[in-house]
Amino acid sequence: MTERLGIIVSGSLNKGVEVRLDSSASIEDMAVGRFVTIEGEKRRFFGMITDVSLGVTDQRLSLTPPDVSDPFIAEVLAGTSTFGTLHVSPSLVIGGDAAAMLEGPQPVKTIPSHFSAVKLSTQEDVELVFGTEDEKRFFIGNPLDMEVKLCLNLEELVKRSNGIFGKSGTGKTFLTRILLIGMLQKSQAVNLVFDMHNEYGWAGTREGGPPVKGLKQLFASRVAVFTLDEENSRHRGVSTDGVVKIGYDEIGPDDIALLRQTLNLTDLAVEAVHQLSRRFGKSWLEDTLALKGAEELPEGLNVHEGTLLNLQRGLATIQRLPFIEPHSPANAVQAILEHLDRGINVVLEFGRYRDITAYILVANMLSRRIYAQYQSRMEKADAAANESMRPRPLVITIEEAHKFLNPEVAGQTIFGIIAREMRKFNVTLLVIDQRPSGIDSEVMSQMGTKITCLLDNEKDIDSVLAGVSGRNELKSVLAKLAAKQQALIFGHAVPMPVAFQPREYGSARSYRDFAPRKDAEEDIEKLWD
């Protein structure tokens, strides 16, 4: 039996409805973000508590408060003269007749009638709205204060670019791990993870606890770990599948343009890169560094001395990166693509090179080349009208996304293009960031599903919620999330916004739960032996 919370007393479709709490329901048990069901006369509505407030029938009660030290008086007044109200934003509705039941929940176009009963949602309600765990849906956590499995349709999720946001230390990485596992199990998509902090492939860290397992440890046969820093990976006992080295000749002018801010280059220097690469061809980087001064520049190149120095200083920073070699022996892009084609997820570890320059350079370079391959393959498949020729959907996971997607560079980086063009070429992004306000608003608006942990900067909250209906209500939910292990999900892949607690990750049991299939189970058993 579900507990009745109260009745609808007023409201509007735009602003949500007011619920007067029954005296039996304690206002202290309510919480913003909770999922509630409203039983209208003909329809059932689903919504979320977005505000909680106190009311009195007589203003004098607040001026001369009664003697509530007497439990009798307190009990009489609670729920009658003094009462709690909830603000609920209904987002979905389901009709009572059979046809409507089959159709499933639809977005609300009206509100429940006066005095409709409001209840906490039951397991059936949640399952009706979010579905149950099946071959497409993945259990990602529990709605706040509920013991029900909240499932996410990952097939839908990977069709758009998505974002995971939250302050540092709010559980973004754990959430990402869960999502990556979900994608690995329930969707056709493969992942390419640019793992800046070496958190996803092999063991990851946990605040105040032992390290947690990475993807490769759980799904050895379906995850490959590439590394930029072989020594570091070996040192940490990671079994890597490949080492990525980048040749000078693989770095193009566009890659430098993206690094303008991190390398502290002037606009003129970036301009000069284009000229130089046109003139010197593939070896432009080496040739430019070899120049002793502006006077050595070939005929017809108009680069100022200062600009050249500025550029050379910047290029030297790149040259010093240990994984950059004059000529890379193996084609890293091809190796990664081969793995992706076989349906194997690739995690690229950066080892000790956590420097943002390295990260931007590598992520951008690799993604651009991989994306180009995808684009041409998709075009071929479309030209041949052959679905089976299409490459597997690819999800590229990037951290510190505001470095790639800030308004200044979003137009130039490949990630800006992927985010905007979305799934036309079967490549989408999973963006992880702690400063969403730093991301270009155009890119943000193209993101399908956003999952956000606690954010407290007003700008960040605004940018995450920009363009979402009922954003004021969601704002109050978002600002009140717990500092750890609570998140709000909204957008394309979920029928309605919902605050949830991500499922457990890190205990032996949680690992077992993640891997219901036989082979994975055996792998895990071996790990624990």
Partner 1 sequence: MAEIQRVGEVIEASTTGFTAQCYELYQMPPLGSLVRTGDSAAELYGIVCNAATASLEPGRRPIARGRDEDSEEAIYRSSPQLAKLLRSEFGALVVGYREGDKLYQHLPPRPARIHGFVYQCSSDELKDFGKSFNFLNIILNAHLPVPAEELVAASLRRMSQAHDDQRAFLVAAGRELAVLLGGNLNQLNAILGRIKL
CB of 42 to partner 1, least distance (A): 29
List all residues 6 or more positions away from 361 whose beta carbon is below 8 Å from its beta carbon.
246, 251, 255, 258, 259, 318, 321
134 forms part of the interface with partner 1 (CB under 8 A) = no
Count CA within 13 A, CB hemisphere, residue 127: 9
Q: What is the C-alpha separation between 195 and 225, in angstroms, rounded? A: 10
Task: Please tell me whether residue 205 adopts helix, strand or coil conformation.
Answer: coil
Residue 14 or 59: which CB sits closer to partner 1? 59
Comparison of 7 and 243: residue with beta carbon closer to partner 1: 7
Q: How far is the CB of 57 from partner 1 (least distance, A)?
A: 4
Chain positions 6 to 25 lying near partner 1, rule: CB under 8 A, are 23
Alpha helices in 131-214 (DSSP H): 154-157, 172-186
Q: Answer yes or no whether residue 58 interacts with partner 1 by CB under 8 A.
A: yes
Rg of the chain's alpha carbons, rounded to an integer? 27
How many other CB atoms sit within 10 Å of the CB of residue 71? 8
Is 61 an interacting residue with respect to partner 1 (CB under 8 A)? yes
Min separation Cβ 25 and partner 1, Å? 14
Q: By CB under 8 A, is residue 80 in contact with partner 1?
A: yes
Whichever of 65 and 96 has its CB closer to partner 1, that residue is 65
Whole-angstrom CA distances from 267 to 19, 256, 307 are 57, 11, 9
Instruction: Copy the structure tokens of residue 85.
Output: 């109200």
Shortest distance (Å) from residue 76 CB to partner 1: 3
Q: Quick one: which segment of 3-11, 69-77, 98-106, 457-465 binds partner 1 (CB under 8 A)? A: 69-77
Q: With binding defined as CB under 8 A, does residue 375 bind partner 1?
A: no
Gap between the Cα atoms of 139 and 316, Å rounded: 48
Report how far apart, in Å, the C-alpha atoms of 5 and of each of 82, 88, 369, 397 are. 15, 12, 56, 42
Stretch that binds partner 1, among 65-73, 264-272, 303-311, 503-511 (CB under 8 A): 65-73
Residue from 79, 141, 182, 253 touching partner 1 (CB under 8 A): that is 79
Q: Is there binding between residue 231 and partner 1 (CB under 8 A)?
A: no
Q: Please identify which residue in 7, 27, 76, 381 interacts with partner 1, judged by CB under 8 A.
A: 76
d(CA 180, CA 223): 11
Of 60 and 235, the one with the shorter C-beta distance to partner 1 is 60
Site string for partner 1, 451-490 (x = CB under 8 A): ----------------------------------------
Q: Does 57 bind partner 1 (CB under 8 A)?
A: yes
Distances in Å between the Cα of 374 and the Cα atoms of 156, 369, 378, 379 are: 20, 9, 6, 8
Q: Does 73 bind partner 1 (CB under 8 A)?
A: yes
Name the minimum Å distance from CB 66 to partner 1.
Answer: 6
Instruction: Centre a 10 Å sphere on the Cβ of residue 235 and count the other Cβ atoms it contains.
Output: 11
Nearest approach in angstroms of CB 79 to partner 1 is 7
Q: Could you give the CA distance from residue 233 to residue 235 in angstroms, rounded to a whole number?
A: 5
* Count of residues engaged in binding partner 1, rule: CB under 8 A: 16
Q: How far is the CB of 75 from partner 1 (least distance, A)?
A: 5
User: Mapping DSSP to helix (H, G, I), strand (E, B) and coil, where does residue 465 land?
Assistant: helix
Binding site for partner 1 (CB under 8 A): 23, 57-58, 60-61, 64, 66, 70, 72-73, 75-77, 79-81
